[in-house]
Amino acid sequence: MSILLTPKLDLIFKKLFAENVVILINLLNAVLGLPKKQQIRSVEVKNPIILPEEITQKFIVLDVLVTDKMGFSYEIEMQVRRYESYSKRALYYLSRIYAGQLDSGEDYEKLKPVIGIHFLDYELFPDQDDFRFRFEMRDVRYPELRLTDDMVLHIFDLAKFENMMQNKQHGNDLSEWLHFFNHAHEEDKTMRTAYTNPAIHKAFDILETLSADEKTRRLARIREDALRTERSELFYAEKRGREEGEKRGEKRGLEKGEKRGLEKGRKENAVKTAKKLLAMAVLPPDQIAQATGLDIEEIQNLRRKKKIPDA
């Protein structure tokens, strides 16, 4: 038997769920946790095809776009690479899907909810002791007040889930799916019996078929190479940015030091000039201040220290 490909690779994730709506529906219902009567029964995948150029293209998201019978949209993605603009990109994607529902002049009432479901293989919020987050438009002071239910983002931290669930039983469909994402490529048929969700057993069968297909394995290698190149480019771009920032900081530090030195020299010369003018007792303090650039209070202090009478 071929070693199973990992469903955490976005290419495999998309082929697994975009081409098999039965397990996709099960995953959606597990994430949403809807009562049985409200659960999703059928969906349409809007972008099932993976274009050849998408596999080699860096910085592209191989997500799964879905609509259900109610017209609700779902943007589902597996994200294994970390980058600074993730939050902004996630909001942009959901906003673009939401706005794209209307043609020019159409009524806003036609807009349907858009739900993002993102599985991340890294800790987005390392200070939070949880692996699951749900973002909505709520009031800060009154969380029970929602502006709208039309835009929601579910985020699942697979790395945090793994740390929190070690040696614990997975008691529901959602936790079994998250465990599947983390470990499917490591397990054999005997280990699959631990899963109680029939949809995951089906997912294993599909993953096994994909993994046995030489073309799919080759595409997976190409995709992994593209992502590896992307990570390398991001790493060196960040490194160059830090180095340039440090150089600019050093330069600014030198410039500030030089500026402080010049200012100190000017101040010392101004004080010497003021003392001479005060000693001459020809000009009043305000004119000396004007001539030297010092404050009138500084002139008065110098005069008192030297016990010089007013001119």
Q: Residue 308 half-sphere exposure, CB side, CA atoms within 13 Å?
A: 21
**pLDDT band with cut points at 50, 70 and 90 for residue 50:** very high
Mean pLDDT of 268-293: 73
**pLDDT band with cut points at 50, 70 and 90 for residue 301:** confident
Alpha helices in the chain (DSSP H): 10-18, 21-32, 52-56, 86-99, 158-164, 173-183, 198-212, 214-280, 285-292, 296-306
With contact defined as beta carbons under 8 Å apart, do 151 and 175 qualify? no
Q: Which of 11-15, 39-43, 141-145, 237-241 has the lowest mean pLDDT?
A: 237-241
**pLDDT band with cut points at 50, 70 and 90 for residue 231:** confident
Percent of the chain with pLDDT over 70: 89
| pLDDT tens track for 180-200 | 999 999 877 777 888 999 999
Going by the DSSP 8-state scheme, the letter that residue 186 receives in this structure is G
Q: For residue 2, what pLDDT is reported?
A: 64
- Token pair of 309, please? 């009478």
Please name the residue that has the structure tokens 């794209």: 100
Most confident of the following: 3-12, 99-108, 257-266, 272-281: 3-12
With contact defined as beta carbons under 8 Å apart, do 73 and 86 qualify? no
With contact defined as beta carbons under 8 Å apart, do 10 and 4 qualify? no
User: Residue 10 pLDDT more than 60?
Assistant: yes
| pLDDT tens track for 91-106 | 999 999 999 999 878 8
DSSP-assigned states of every residue in 38-59? GS---EEES-----HHHHH-TT
Mean pLDDT of 33-54: 93
| pLDDT tens track for 126-181 | 999 999 999 999 999 999 999 999 999 999 999 999 888 776 666 799 999 999 99
Measured from the Cβ of residue 138, the count of other Cβ atoms closer than 10 Å reads 13
| Dihedral angle, C-alpha 269, 270, 273, 279, nearest 10 ° | -130
| Dihedral angle, C-alpha 158, 224, 152, 47, nearest 10 ° | -140
Distance from the Cα of residue 266 to its chain's centroid? 50
